[in-house]
């Protein structure tokens, strides 16, 4: 499995988990419940993650034309669950569009947009995007458990193993 295929599988897994997390709130108003000590609600995190992936993978690598409004990702509130799920679906499409057209030699070249005023190899930035997605999905999981009182998981995460992995035993 190539790096881009592994990154795609991991991001799609994280977005599917984010979808299940949002669906698991028994009352969709709780998605926007602010908790002391937590800087963001699940709704804010969902908007941010969807915007991030649509921007970096959809627009920058896939040429989708998506225009990001990062401040709105953090200022909007009370967005209905259906709209949040639609954003997750758009991010899912952006991941596939951006990564499936990526040639292997592009992984060594700089990402098409400077990151924090720094040139970053595309392959390295793809790994950052996976870590960023997993971090925020974990925050949504914690938020959901805290505001709903439901400590159950939304389902196990299946590992995405590279092609060189071998079963033991």
- pTM score of the predicted model: 0.92
CA torsion angle 144 77 80 128 (round to 10)? -60
Give the DSSP letter string of the chain. Answer: --HHHHHHHHHHHHHHHHHHHHHT-SSGGGGG---TT-S--HHHHHHHHHHHHIIIIIIIIT-------HHHHHH-----HHHHHHHHHHHHHHHHHHHHT--GGGGTSBPSS-BTTB--BHHHHHHHHHHHHHHHHHHHHHHHHHHH-----S-PPPP---TT-----
| Whole-number Å distance between alpha carbons of 58 and 51 | 10
Mean pLDDT computed over 86-95: 98
Domains present along the chain, CATH in parentheses: 3-148 (1.20.120.450)
- Region for residue 155 given its phi and psi (left: phi exceeds 0; alpha: psi -120 to 50; beta: otherwise): left
pLDDT given for residue 14 in this prediction:
97
Average pLDDT, the chain: 94
Q: Could you tell me the maximum CA-CA distance found in the chain, to the nearest angstrom? A: 51
Mean pLDDT computed over 97-117: 94
Given pLDDT bands bounded at 50, 70 and 90, which one contains residue 95? very high
Q: Which residues of 32-45 are buried (b: 16+ CB within 10 A; e: fewer)?
A: bbeeeebebbbbbb
Share of residues in the chain with pLDDT > 90 (%): 89
pLDDT given for residue 164 in this prediction:
52
């Amino acid at each position: 499995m190539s790096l881009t295929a592994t990154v795609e599988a991991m991001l799609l897994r994280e977005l599917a988990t984010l979808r299940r997390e949002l669906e698991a709130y028994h009352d969709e108003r709780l998605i926007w419940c602010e908790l002391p000590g937590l800087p963001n609600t699940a709704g804010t995190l969902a908007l941010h993650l969807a915007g991030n992936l649509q921007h970096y993978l959809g627009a920058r690598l896939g040429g989708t034309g998506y225009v990001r409004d990062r401040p709105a990702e953090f200022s909007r509130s009370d967005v209905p669950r259906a709209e949040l799920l639609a954003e997750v679906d758009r991010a899912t499409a952006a991941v596939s569009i951006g990564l499936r057209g990526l040639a292997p030699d592009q992984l060594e070249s700089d990402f098409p947009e400077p990151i924090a005023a720094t040139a970053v190899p595309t392959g390295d930035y793809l790994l950052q995007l996976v870590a960023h997605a997993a971090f925020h999905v974990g925050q949504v999981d914690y938020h959901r458990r805290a505001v709903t009182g439901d400590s159950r998981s939304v389902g196990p995460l299946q590992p995405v193993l590279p092609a060189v992995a071998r079963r033991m035993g």
